[in-house]
């Protein structure tokens, strides 16, 4: 099957290229990137040279991708709303890695993202691409909105407990840290190595734009605080919720294990997970505890923001949409050490 990438020169695009190089069913047919048009993939990412020795980035032209089986759109949030409408109905499936089609309420975009949505008619038909929390709607979908990395970690940690009614849906706190690759390839004053190295900082207090996405998928009211950590990849989300009744750590772990039994990419573990345990893999490692002294339940989730939190999840959703084996082309073993 032919796959295309729009916005392939950023970190998510590079991760898509890396994973597609090993995919048994999807073959890259075109990669577009306005900022790098005409240059080679090998020059931008020498580590990909063996897989793409002669591939160059084309100009951004969605119309040239008509008839493709799947197109991954990995442009910044706010830009994919101008790209996706030119692809839907002309390719087998569109998987948008940005935020433009994740929220169902068009009024949420000016409030949280600062732009008016130009294609609100597509919001109702867009399928949210988090397979572990809604696999069936993704099968055969023509437009998939892949979740963000913070949201994936928090939703997979909290959703089973909320669905089981063992924690309250109000007053939930998500405290999460991300590696610097989550900020994209172009550095800013806040994400430059000199600013991040040997430092740990919170940002976008109270009004981070991923908050409504977390609330939409979990049904909870959430206070979200993101942090930037001095590492390249990874998300570690620590989530707190008040127990709705008598509980124990055994109960919490039992709910999580029951929810994710048989899931190929979710591992419920005893010890607190670390981001390094998911490096380069499409896996999430989760654990939980109940504190009887405070009545609070804490759940932790670790993942690689570029893989399960980004490109890997997009390919997982594309596999489902196209009728391919869900795990095809996706690593489950992390890079160690």
* Residue positions annotated with a catalytic role: 149
257 phi/psi in degrees, rounded to 5:
-65, -40
At residue 226, the 3 state secondary structure works out as strand
Contact indicator for 41, 52 with CB cutoff of 8 Å: yes
H or E stretch covering 256? helix 249-260
DSSP string for 94-121: EEE-SSTTT-S-TTHHHHHTSS--S-GG
Phi, psi for 136 (deg, rounded to 5): -60, -45
| Greatest CA separation for the chain | 62
With DSSP H G I counted as helix, E B as strand and the rest as coil, what are the percentages for the chain, rounded to 5?
30, 20, 45
Please state whether the peptide bond connecting residue 224 to the residue before it is cis, i.e. omega within 30 degrees of 0: no
Does residue 143 contact residue 162 with C-beta atoms inside 8 Å? no
- How many separate helices (H) and strands (E) can be counted in the chain? 9, 13
Count the Cβ atoms, other than its own, within 10 Å of residue 250: 9
Instruction: Please count the other Cβ atoms lying within 10 Å of the Cβ belonging to residue 302.
Output: 28
Distance in angstroms (rounded) separating the CA atoms of residues 141 and 126: 8
> How long is the chain?
337
As a whole number of angstroms, the distance between CA 218 and CA 30 comes to: 36
């Amino acid at each position: 099957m032919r796959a295309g990438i729009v916005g392939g020169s950023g970190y998510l695009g590079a991760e898509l290229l890396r994973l597609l190089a090993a995919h048994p069913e999807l073959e890259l047919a075109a990669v577009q990137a306005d900022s790098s048009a005409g240059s080679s993939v090998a020059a931008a990412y020498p580590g990909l040279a063996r897989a793409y020795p002669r591939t160059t980035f084309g100009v951004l032209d969605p119309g040239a991708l008509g008839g493709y089986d799947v197109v991954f759109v990995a442009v910044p949030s706010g830009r994919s709303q101008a790209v996706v409408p030119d692809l839907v109905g002309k390719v087998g499936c569109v998987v948008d890695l940005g935020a433009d089609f994740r929220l169902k309420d068009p009024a949420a975009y000016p409030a949280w993202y600062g732009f008016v949505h130009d294609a609100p008619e597509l919001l109702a038909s867009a399928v949210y691409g988090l397979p572990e929390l809604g696999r069936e709607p993704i099968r055969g979908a023509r437009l998939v909105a892949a979740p963000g990395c913070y949201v994936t970690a928090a939703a997979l940690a909290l959703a089973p407990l909320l669905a089981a009614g063992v924690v309250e849906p109000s007053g939930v706190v998500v405290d999460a840290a991300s590696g610097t690759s989550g900020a994209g390839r172009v550095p800013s004053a806040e994400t430059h190595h000199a600013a991040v190295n040997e430092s740990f900082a919170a940002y976008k207090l109270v009004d981070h734009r991923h908050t409504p996405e977390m609330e939409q998928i979990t049904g909870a009211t959430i206070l979200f605080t993101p942090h930037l950590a001095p590492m390249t990849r990874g998300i570690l989300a620590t989530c707190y919720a008040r127990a709705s009744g008598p509980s124990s750590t055994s109960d919490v772990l039992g709910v999580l294990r029951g929810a994710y039994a048989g899931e190929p990419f979710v591992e419920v573990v005893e010890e607190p997970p670390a981001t390094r345990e998911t490096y380069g893999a499409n896996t999430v490692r989760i654990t939980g505890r109940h504190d009887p002294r405070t009545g609070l339940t804490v759940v932790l989730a670790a993942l690689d923001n570029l893989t399960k939190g980004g490109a890997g999840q997009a390919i997982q959703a594309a596999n489902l949409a196209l009728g391919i084996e869900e795990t095809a082309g996706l690593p489950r073993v992390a890079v160690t050490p």
